[in-house]
Amino acid sequence: MLDRKLCLGRRLERRPEAALMGRVGKGVRCTVTGCGEEAVRSVSPVDVSRAGLKSTSSGRGYLCKNHYKELKKKLRKDKELERMRMTG
Ligand SMILES: [Zn+2]
């Protein structure tokens, strides 16, 4: 019984981002080069590069409110372009 609880606790500790669901705790800074605002969301490095943002981190990106909005806008535009290309 006790062993299983310990195991679960360790697993959660190893993957904190799974428990956070994209949310970022206080004190984390935006990883976009030259920014430094407080981050509100973490995103995958794939999304960061697709949005054309320059991140100082090679892993997950942490974005402030403004950059997260920018990323969402760019990714949405990407999707619209894709759809237009598909339908001709
Ligand atoms: Zn930022």
Distance CA 11, CA 26 (A): 23
Supply the pLDDT for residue 11.
Answer: 54
- The DSSP 8-state label assigned to residue 29 in this structure reads B
17 pLDDT more than 50 = no
Q: Report CA(7)–ligand 1 centroid distance (Å).
A: 37
Positive or negative, the CA dihedral 85, 86, 87, 88 is positive
- Tens digit of each residue's pLDDT (9 = 90 or more) over 2-16: 666 655 555 555 555
Q: How much distance in Å is there from the Cα of 19 to the middle of ligand 1?
A: 23
The alpha carbon of 1 and the centre of ligand 1 are apart by a number of angstroms equal to 45
Q: Contacts from 36-42 at CB under 8 Å and sequence distance 24+?
A: 37/64, 37/65, 37/66, 37/67, 38/64, 39/63, 39/64, 40/64, 40/65, 40/68, 41/68, 42/17
Q: What residue segments make up the domains of the chain, in order of their start?
A: 21-87
pLDDT in tens, 58-75: 889 999 999 999 999 999
pLDDT at site 22? 64
What is the pTM (predicted TM-score) of this model? Answer: 0.66
- Mean pLDDT across the chain: 82
* pLDDT score for 50: 92
Tens-place pLDDT, residues 35-56 = 999 999 999 999 999 999 999 9
